[in-house]
């Protein structure tokens, strides 16, 4: 009888001592390990587009006919897809017929940037000229912005090209930050290799 009583008390004390909060720490939040693809850059050209640039061979070009419902100003609208990250670079082109067209497309680009910037923690905007003499503006966002990076390139008289990074999922800056940095490197390479083609 004493042995049963002693055992019951010992087990009770052991259970009570194991329930104290002292020395316990919560497990840190972890995210799945990301496998970044490797590949080589290749030149992208299309009969519909008066330009060329370099993209990695692990992306997919999506020419989606649903763009037709938006009545785009040109057939050169496409996405550069990163299926492994559920991300896409939305690319659109419009021909210009003068300074007024350029100002209209530029205003539209800034309107979208202003909407995105309302949710971002910080936005960096800077003018850009690449090695081929093509110029434009890059917008780099941090925080919970809908798009981590956008840019447009234009000669301000004939051509206007816009590119924007979006995810097919909710943008969570903590988990998607490293992926955004990876894709931004490809975007910078695209912008640096971009050149207009004479028609």
Tokens 């390990």 map to which residue?
33
What's the rounded Cα separation, in Å, for the pair 113 and 140?
10
66 found inside a domain: yes
What pTM was estimated for this model as a whole? 0.79
Flag whether pLDDT at 12 surpasses 60. yes
- Among the residues of 54-172, which ranges form H helices? 99-117
Helix (H) or strand (E) holding 154: strand 149-154
What is the mean pLDDT of the segment spanning 158-169? 92
Closest-CA residue to 165 (of 130, 138, 133): 138
Averaged pLDDT, 112-121: 91
Write the CATH number for 79: 3.40.1000
Q: How far apart are the first and last CA of the chain?
A: 101
31: in domain = no
In a domain, 115, yes or no: yes
Backbone angles phi, psi at 144, to 5 degrees: -80, 40
Give yes or no for residue 29 having a pLDDT over 70.
Answer: no
Q: Which DSSP symbol is given to 144?
A: S
113 part of a folded domain: yes
Q: How many domains does the chain have?
A: 1
**Distance from CA of residue 121 to its chain's centroid?**
16
Are 73 and 51 in contact, with CB atoms under 8 Å apart?
no
- Domain membership of residue 125 (yes or no) is yes
**What pLDDT is stored for residue 74 in this prediction?**
75
Domain residue limits at 187:
62-196
pLDDT reported for residue 28: 59
CA-CA distance, 113 to 125, in Å (whole number)? 10
């Amino acid at each position: 009888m004493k042995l049963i009583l002693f055992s019951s008390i010992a087990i009770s004390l052991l259970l009570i001592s194991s329930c104290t909060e002292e020395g316990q720490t919560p497990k840190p939040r972890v995210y799945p390990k990301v496998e970044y693809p490797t590949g080589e850059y290749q030149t992208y050209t299309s009969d519909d587009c008066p330009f060329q640039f370099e993209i990695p061979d692990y992306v997919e070009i999506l020419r989606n006919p649903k763009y037709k419902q938006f009545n785009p100003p040109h057939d050169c609208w496409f996405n550069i897809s990163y299926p492994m990250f559920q991300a896409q670079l939305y690319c659109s082109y419009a021909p210009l017929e003068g300074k007024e067209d350029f100002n209209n497309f530029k205003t539209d680009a800034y309107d979208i940037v202003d909407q995105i910037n309302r949710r971002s923690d910080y936005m960096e905007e800077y003018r850009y000229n690449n090695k081929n003499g093509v110029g434009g503006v890059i917008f780099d966002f941090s925080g919970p912005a809908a798009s981590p990076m956008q840019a447009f390139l234009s000669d301000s008289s004939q051509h206007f090209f816009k590119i924007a990074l979006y995810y097919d999922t909710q943008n969570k800056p903590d988990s998607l930050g490293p992926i955004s940095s990876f894709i931004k490197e490809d975007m910078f390479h695209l912008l640096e290799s971009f050149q207009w083609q004479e028609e």
